[in-house]
Amino acid sequence: MKRRVAIVAGTLLVLAGLLGGLNWLFPLPPAPQYSPLVLAADGTVLHAFLNPTQKWRMKTELREITPALRQTIIEKEDRYFYYHPGVNPLAILKAAGRNLTGSGRTTGASTITMQVARLLEPKERTWPNKLLEMLRALQLEAHYSKAEILQLYLNLVPYGGNVEGVKSAALLYFQQPPDYLSLAQTVTLAIIPNRPRGVVLGRHNAAIRQERNRWLRRFDAQRLFPHQAIADALLEPLDVQRHAAPRLAPHLARRLVRQFPGQPSLRATLVRSKQAKAEDLTRNYVRRLQELGITNAAVLVVNNRSRAVEAYVGSADFRDAASKGQNDGVQAIRSPGSTLKPLLYAVALDKGLVTPKLLLPDVPTNFNGYQPENFDKRCNGEVPLDRALAYSLNIPAVRVLSELGVPTFTDKLRAAGFRRVARDAPHLGLSTILGGCGATLEELTNLYVTLARGGQYAPLQWQAPARPQAPTALFSDASAFLITDILAQLTRPDLPVGYEASLRLPKVAWKTGTSYGRRDAWSIGYNKEYTIGVWVGNFSGQGSPALTGSDVATPLLFDLFNALAYNSPNNWFQPPASLDFRLVCAETGLPPGETCPNQLIDYFLPGISTTRRCQHQKEVLLSADGQYAYCRACAPPAGYRRELYPNLQPEVLAFKEAQGIPYRRLPPHNPACQLVRGGRDRAPSITSPLANSEYVLTKGERQQLLLSCTTDNEVRQVYWYVNDRFLRAAAANERIFFRPPAGSVKISCADDHGRNTDVRVLVTEL
């Protein structure tokens, strides 16, 4: 007995050695190269690519091989598939007898495994090659299970042209995956591989239907399927044609395939219906804009709860080469315009610098040589922060950034995933808040997702199932709510009287942006469920007079919201417990002082928001006749009176003077006073020329430089000097011109209180 066991074991070892040697000498053929597929979140195919050999060979997964498909293929091709080791000896003997005697139909006795061997290594049909197929079949059976061999067969069977595999045929002809096919469709695909060139779906439908029904009756006779199922299948028409491969979300599909090469299928987070709707709306919308010189748009739709991207439109038409449709507008680095302002104000709220009703100067201002302008070229004097954000005013935003500090702001952008800002941060200045940096639609949309999530930042999710990372706090939930509350007050373009006119339309908070030169139009909106980002423009970088965020991008934003979130629950954001109310002075937005009769209610962050009291009026000592003002040093012991005067900032005073806006101005200071009062912070501020700037003048022409400044309320006269030589005296708000000498020029301005400011410029003559 032991001897027999030893003999058997030795025999098995020898066979194993022989098999190992054969595997080493004749390794298995390489695995098939499949067509990369990008799937929607529900598993349906969004986009398919040709495989490296330019064939449609989409991988049929084991779960897609239905019992009907398995039974049909095995019954038709190899009914003893589960019982032979890859080669059927009885079938070989029967086939050899028929072929030698010439009786019956000539056959090759190929099993499914042998067909797989031939499909993996196509060769001319000769007896030696048939023997090689048999050896390969035995080898395949030793390495793969029956289910895996059947899967290989279903992935390799030809269907004419460059279509291979059941899944490719099912999608291209029936527009359904294999596990969704009817019995009639399943049998149709089972009979084609025998004659993929002679019988072509879409061309020979009548002949294919006749052959299909013949096999159905045969299966009925064999009781392979229920009789009623066969009867229904026999009545099913066959009117098919070849369709184009799925082509949704081409930009994201290409992005994922490049990121994960070699994967036969990649499941994205996209929702098929929303992706299709977003593509249709974007394409049709851009068609209407083409006569305005606007040729493209990009859209991103994000589910706020999971941060999963549910629609991704990189361009209006991927196939439009003239408009560079293959460019991906979601990843393109563009100027963000004013879309970063909500982040700026949120951070400033957290720093205690501002509150919603705080009044900010909106007047021409020189920020160390940088003079921003509002989009409409107008100024409003002083505006509360909520209005400055809602109407996207530039000058107040630059002022807040100047107080906050550019490094603090760019650090927040870096933390929010802005890659170009992170790279360029050392070189960025105050213009960053007006679009003087690079950003992508992906980055900007996620910034607004962060607002919707109460200031919590995490990366967007592209692959399903979504696995959100642990968020990091970019700003507080209190600031997020205040910004959202401001952005939700804007009048919707589709509902001028407010969203309440239709309870089925979603409530939205949104912000627009327009880049310099009108090259990029942005509109990004959000509610509790979704955030949608829209970019409209030209990939060539060419601007258009009509290209503004509010006029061009916002209509598409609300088309998308109304289509994708129609009748969704309008659950709106609630103020967090960290917020509270307080009374503030209506003149400044600060906590009221002793002279603040007009007050209103404003939100604030307890323990964070400034508690500085309002000083919009200051007490002034006047002579009895009101002709002169006294300082504490020169006031007489008696004979003067006290009055309140507006305590305006110098640039606001200059704006009121320039616009002819009446205000109560201080009388001149006591001329007998010899005291030089105030520090450098109250000295005149030279607004022109700009410090450290170069001015190029043409020789022979009478070009001149403008001299202007802003001063304190009590200043009446200023004195201008050029290279320390007196030029002339002028009224405090007077604009004068002069011809400067070439080279480095020092410009000085002194006021009638002895305070002085200097700037230097370089003058070049050509």
pLDDT at residue 167 tops 60: yes
Q: Are 515 and 332 in contact (CB under 8 A)?
A: no
Min mean pLDDT across 30-34, 109-113, 448-452 is at 109-113
Q: Are 86 and 141 in contact (CB under 8 A)?
A: yes
Q: How confident is the model at residue 494 (pLDDT cuts 50, 70, 90)?
A: low
**Sign, Cα dihedral of 357, 359, 365, 366:** negative
Residues 211 and 75 in one domain: yes
Mean pLDDT computed over 321-337: 96
At residue 198, the pLDDT reads 67
CA distance 493 to 511: 13
Written as one letter, the residue type at 275 is Q
Which residue is listed with tokens 């009026």? 617
Q: Are 390 and 487 in contact (CB under 8 A)?
A: yes
Q: How confident is the model at residue 103 (pLDDT cuts 50, 70, 90)?
A: low
CATH number, domain of 67, equals: 1.10.3810.10
pLDDT higher for 694 or 556? 556
H/E stretch holding 762: strand 756-765
- The residue out of 235, 255, 287 marking a domain boundary is 235
Q: Is 520 helix (H, G, I), strand (E, B) or coil?
A: strand
Residues 22 and 62 in one domain: no
- The residue out of 209, 235, 261 marking a domain boundary is 235
Mean pLDDT computed over 581-608: 93
Q: What are 139-152's pLDDT values in tens digits?
A: 889 889 999 999 99
The two structure tokens encoding residue 245: 């491969």
Q: How confident is the model at residue 9 (pLDDT cuts 50, 70, 90)?
A: low
pLDDT at residue 408 tops 90: yes
| Inside any domain, residue 403 | no
CA distance 115 to 150: 10
Residues 161 and 21 in one domain: no
Q: How confident is the model at residue 569 (pLDDT cuts 50, 70, 90)?
A: confident
Residues 145 and 48 in one domain: yes
Q: What are 270-289's pLDDT values in tens digits?
A: 999 999 999 999 999 999 99
Residues 92 and 79 in one domain: yes
Q: How confident is the model at residue 608 (pLDDT cuts 50, 70, 90)?
A: very high
pLDDT at residue 106 tops 50: no
CA distance 238 to 240: 6
At residue 497, the pLDDT reads 46
Q: What are 52-70's pLDDT values in tens digits?
A: 999 999 999 999 999 999 9
Q: Are 450 and 524 in contact (CB under 8 A)?
A: no
Q: How confident is the model at residue 18 (pLDDT cuts 50, 70, 90)?
A: low
Residues 15 and 161 in one domain: no
At residue 700, the pLDDT reads 78
Residues 122 and 64 in one domain: yes
At residue 681, the pLDDT reads 58
- Average per-residue pLDDT for the chain: 88
Residues 11 and 54 in one domain: no
pLDDT at residue 721 tops 90: yes
**Catalytically active residues, by annotation:** 77, 338
Q: What are 214-244's pLDDT values in tens digits?
A: 999 999 999 999 999 999 999 999 988 999 9
CA distance 506 to 501: 11
Q: How confident is the model at residue 518 (pLDDT cuts 50, 70, 90)?
A: very high
Give buried/exposed letters for 478-513 (b at 16+ CB in 10 A, else e): bbbbbbbbbbbebebeeeeeebeeeeebbbbbbbbb
| Inside any domain, residue 8 | yes
Residues paired with residue 697 on neighbouring β-strands, in sequence order: 765
| Inside any domain, residue 579 | no
Mean pLDDT computed over 583-611: 93
For residue 746, how many other CB atoms are within 10 A of its CB? 13
Residues 62 and 3 in one domain: no
The two structure tokens encoding residue 664: 């109560």
Q: How confident is the model at residue 522 (pLDDT cuts 50, 70, 90)?
A: very high
pLDDT at residue 133 tops 70: yes
pLDDT higher for 299 or 502? 299
Over pLDDT 90: what percentage of the chain?
A: 61
Min mean pLDDT across 396-410, 573-587, 725-739 is at 725-739
Q: Are 590 and 614 in contact (CB under 8 A)?
A: yes
Written as one letter, the residue type at 319 is R
Mean pLDDT computed over 338-346: 97
CA distance 361 to 36: 57
pLDDT at residue 179 tops 50: yes
CATH number, domain of 708, equals: 2.60.40.10
| Inside any domain, residue 688 | yes
pLDDT at residue 201 tops 70: yes
| Inside any domain, residue 759 | yes
CA distance 265 to 246: 13
At residue 12, the pLDDT reads 60
| Inside any domain, residue 656 | no
Which 8-state DSSP code applies to residue 367?
A: B
Q: How confident is the model at residue 631 (pLDDT cuts 50, 70, 90)?
A: confident
**Sign, Cα dihedral of 402, 405, 410, 416:** negative
Which of 493, 521, 180 has its CA nearest to residue 335?
521
| Inside any domain, residue 395 | no
Q: Cα dihedral angle (448, 452, 455, 458), rounded to 10 degrees?
A: -70
Range of 6's domain?
1-28
Q: What is the DSSP string of 696-748?
A: EE-TTS---EEEEEE--TT--EEEEEETTEEEEEEETT--EEE-PPSEEEEEE
The two structure tokens encoding residue 432: 């960053």
Residues 216 and 135 in one domain: yes
Q: Are strands 456-457 and 381-384 parallel, antiparallel or unpaired?
A: unpaired
At residue 685, the pLDDT reads 85
Write phi, then psi, for 531 (nearest 5 degrees): -125, 130
- The residue out of 214, 235, 256 marking a domain boundary is 235
Residues paired with residue 362 on neighbouring β-strands, in sequence order: 381
CA distance 236 to 532: 44
Q: Is 579 helix (H, G, I), strand (E, B) or coil?
A: coil
Which 8-state DSSP code applies to residue 258?
A: H
Q: How confident is the model at residue 503 (pLDDT cuts 50, 70, 90)?
A: low
Which 8-state DSSP code applies to residue 45?
A: E
Q: What are 677-690's pLDDT values in tens digits?
A: 555 557 888 888 88
| Inside any domain, residue 154 | yes
CA distance 508 to 524: 10
Residues 20 and 132 in one domain: no
pLDDT higher for 184 or 618? 184
Written as one letter, the residue type at 744 is S
Q: What is the domain count for the chain?
A: 3
pLDDT at residue 566 tops 90: no
The two structure tokens encoding residue 679: 């520090």
At residue 674, the pLDDT reads 66
Residues paired with residue 758 on neighbouring β-strands, in sequence order: 748
Residues 151 and 221 in one domain: yes
CA distance 238 to 740: 89
Which residue is listed with tokens 């004195």? 719
Q: How confident is the model at residue 676 (pLDDT cuts 50, 70, 90)?
A: low
